Amino acid sequence: MLGRLFGKPKQEANALTTLDKLNETLEMLEKKEKVLVKKAAAEVEKAKEFAKGRNKRAAIQCLKRKRLYEQQIEQLGNFQLRIHDQMIMLEGAKATTETVDALRTGAAAMKAMQKATNIDDVDKTMDEINEQTENMKQIQEALSTPIGAAADFDEDELEAELEELEGAELEEQLLQPTTTAPAAPVQVPAGRQPARPVPQKHTAEEDELAALQAEMAL
């Protein structure tokens, strides 16, 4: 357990230290390469001067030293290439390790969450919720049930009584005489005479009623 806790930071530190060391070595090789390039160029200039002075032997020695410098430059170039390859591989391995560590951490977190909320606990929780819901329904039904004298009332009888009341109310409305509102006065425009009322025809019942009233007056 302690190895897991302290191994990862140590590995990261080692990787960073190695990368720093490779960078320093690469910079050192590049500096040496620049120096050798300058020396090779200087030998070429010396060979030219000796060639002008007809000193062929000295000019050839300068060219030999120039080739030695070029061999070293080529060797340094190969060293730099290997260091670049090593750095790329190390950076890729570091990225792979970090990715695996992240995936491992995620898997462990997922496992812990699943352990904390397994299927048995979920089923148990749902059963408790359903049971509490059913109990609440029973409590509400019990509270809404009539108690005392109201529990003895017959719903059918109450509905029949209500229908009788509604029928009686409707019958009373039908028996009430209808009253007509008085006609509004008709405004006659100026300069026009109102039309004479047309005498209404009396029905036979009205004639009999008028005759009866005349006999009673006698």
> Is pLDDT at 185 greater than 60 in this prediction?
no
pTM surpassing 0.85? no
Within 10 Å of residue 59's Cβ, how many Cβ atoms?
19
94-98, 160-164, 206-210: range with lowest mean pLDDT? 206-210
User: CA 121, CA 34: separation in Å to the nearest integer?
Assistant: 71
Could you give phi then psi for residue 199, rounded to 5 degrees?
-60, 135
Helix (H, G, I), strand (E, B) or coil at 140: helix
Spatial neighbors of 36 by CB under 8 A, at least 6 apart, are 69, 72, 73, 76
Measuring CA to CA, how many Å separate 152 from each of 159, 163, 210?
Answer: 15, 20, 62
Structure-token pair, residue 188? 């006659």
Helix axes 56-116, 2-52, angle to 10 degrees: 160
Q: Which residues contact 39 (CB under 8 A, 6 or more apart)?
A: 65, 69
Residue 113 has pLDDT above 50, yes or no: yes
CATH says 15-116 is which class? Answer: mainly alpha
**pLDDT confidence of residue 4:** 47
pLDDT tens-place string over residues 25-82: 999 999 999 999 999 999 999 999 988 888 889 999 999 999 999 999 999 999 999 9
Q: Indicate the burial class of 114 (C-beta count within 10 angstroms; 0-12, 13-18, 19 or more).
A: exposed
CB 90 within 8 A of CB 19: yes
Does residue 29 contact residue 80 with C-beta atoms inside 8 Å? yes
CA distance 75 to 33: 9
